[in-house]
Chain A
Amino acid sequence: MMTNVSRRPALHRMFIYAVIALVLLALPFVVDVTLGRAWVRIMDVALLFVMLALGLNIVVGFAGLLDLGYIAFFAVGAYCYALLASPHFDIHWPFVLLLPLCAVIAGGFGFLLGAPTLKLRGDYLAIVTLGFGEIIRIFLVNLNRPINITNGPRGITLIDPLAAGGISLSQTHTIAGVTIAPVHAYYFVFLACALATIFVSGRLENSRIGRAWVAIREDELAAKTMGINTRNIKLLAFAMGASFGGIAGGLFASFQGFISPESFTLHDSIMVLCMVVLGGMGNVGGVVLGAVLLTALPEALRHTGTLQQEWLGTVYVDPSDLRMLLFGLALVLVMLFRPAGLWPSAVRKREFVTDPEASAP
């Protein structure tokens, strides 16, 4: 498939990629020095949200199935990792085994949610998925009796960090004179995972399966009569989206070292949905942008207190109140002025050669 990009001189393209790679590699260290270590941590979380948002984008953006309980799959992945790599059951499986398992189990839960909701669309589906998200969370809260599985609201602590061959990401390493703290190391792992997610999403978008998802979003009945097995293709969307969330959940558990049901509330589901909608539903680039912005913005708005102090001499409004107010205002403004999202899925002008005879490579 010929795209605009591939027409550019290869050297030019290589140069752009090299610059992007360098920026991404240097970013955590630059941010560490300029903004402080807390912001490196926020970047790590942003990358997790990129993965989550891209997973939800498959369900909501591509297949058009409104899912308000998506965070449940993040929870399933996180608990899957936590239970099998912590002193809670004294099981310590390696992450290379656990992360794929998180994806599979979360995918299975996606299937479980998809199967009974196949005939639902729009608001009805939204209500059911919302309920599903809450059910999972409430299970996590209450599954400490009679057998203690999830340790209830107290959550699971001392979760194993990512480690391989005796090198643990929870320790600070020095490689070639560069000090790499855990937040840096996790940044690179999450970056790799996020890039892989972006890659997979992009490939799926421009494929037979991706077209089938979009066709279902556009007109499910017509999609059926075009020979698309809408049941299987929708289940596939749920399972794929959920598995992305599952991997992100596993990484989250290892990164935090502690998880509790509180991290997986309806608010978090809505947040991820906001990232997808605000960034540009269906467009991989837009969704990534939405995830990064919506992770960074609430954090940046924590500093409204110091700004008030500097500009106005005294703190008039409690920054924690102002923060969510401004955040909400930002959402409203974006939706008013860019209803299709910040970076909407453009009319993909794929450069199909008009003469098929000449298109043979």
Chain B
Amino acid sequence: MNEVLLDARNISKKFGGVQALHAVSLTIHRGEIYGLIGPNGAGKTTFFNVLTGLYTCDSGAFRFAGAPLNTTAAHAVTQQGIARTFQNIRLFANMSVLENVMVGRHTRSRSGVIGAVLRNRATRDEEDAIAQRAHELLRYVGIERRANDLARHLPYGDQRRLEIARALATEPKLLALDEPAAGMNASETAALRELIGNVRGDGVTILLIEHDVKLVMGLCDRVAVLDYGEKIAEDAPEKVQRDPKVIEAYLGAPIA
């Protein structure tokens, strides 16, 4: 449980004059659910984007699963075992639900143009395996009966689930969820919470950005708080909740 999976060291990122991340360091242990919270604009999503190779950081480095993490390209990060979802859902809207998940298998399969044209034994077997795995994942997140619908025809909550299924298709060691409960009602959030618990139960470590305090406090083993690009706290949720610096970041300083 205490084996370090992701070790971020002094990650800094500047946009023009704005210091979005200032020497943020954090460690995530294998098998835990790690929450990343903070007021709006604190740098949470920037941290995600740096981690998943969408932005390059100005300084700092990641170690992942005992080796340096190559964050120069997003697809390389996925290849190394980190998958993510987006704050504003980004599905392949005009592909079927099943195809969305099948795309997630891209990095774990290899057939190319020649295989596609010849459709030889190896390619057919691989395609079957991709489809089968995609079905399993859809069943896992509970939307298998929508497999042949277009992704954009799914209700909101199911789109979130599909995004998670698609991310899981890449076989991540670390699943980074960017506000998965945003816009969900209470029952959808409860179902999501169960799903995240199950994913962790199956051995995937989870990094969670979330505004829903109840979800974070109930689900996370440890929580880090960002404020103006700096990490101001990192501890168990109930301790972080009582940290004066955290309260100040959210509510403002007490009148002296």
Chain A positions near chain B (C-beta within 8 angstroms): 1, 199-200, 203-204, 207-212, 214-215, 218-219, 221-230, 236, 240, 347-350, 352, 354-356, 359-361
Contact = CB atoms under 8 A, between A and B. Distances in A.
B131 interface: yes
A285 B73 CA distance: 36
Most buried by B among A228, A355, A356, A360: A356
Q: Chain A interface secondary structure, helix, strand, loop or mixed?
A: helix
Contact of A221 (B54, B127, B128, B150): B54
Contact of B99 (A209, A211, A229): A211
A228 B166 CA distance: 13
Contact of B113 (A209, A224, A349): A209
Nearest to B107: A227
Contacts of B77: 225
A354 B135 contact: yes
Top 3 A-B pairs, shortest CB-CB distance: A227-B107, A207-B116, A227-B78
B228 interface: no
Given A226-B170, A227-B79, A354-B147, A221 B90 contact: yes
Contact of B116 (A208, A219, A227): A208
Interface in B91-115: 91-96, 98-99, 102-109, 111-113, 115
B132 A225 contact: no
B106 A219 contact: no
A207 B96 CA distance: 14
B14 interface: no
Nearest to A231: B73
Contact of B94 (A200, A203, A218, A222): A218
Nearest to B150: A347
A204 B117 CA distance: 6
Contact of A222 (B92, B119, B124, B135): B92
B95 A218 contact: yes
Contacts of A208: 105-106, 109, 111-112, 116, 126-127, 130
Nearest to B110: A208
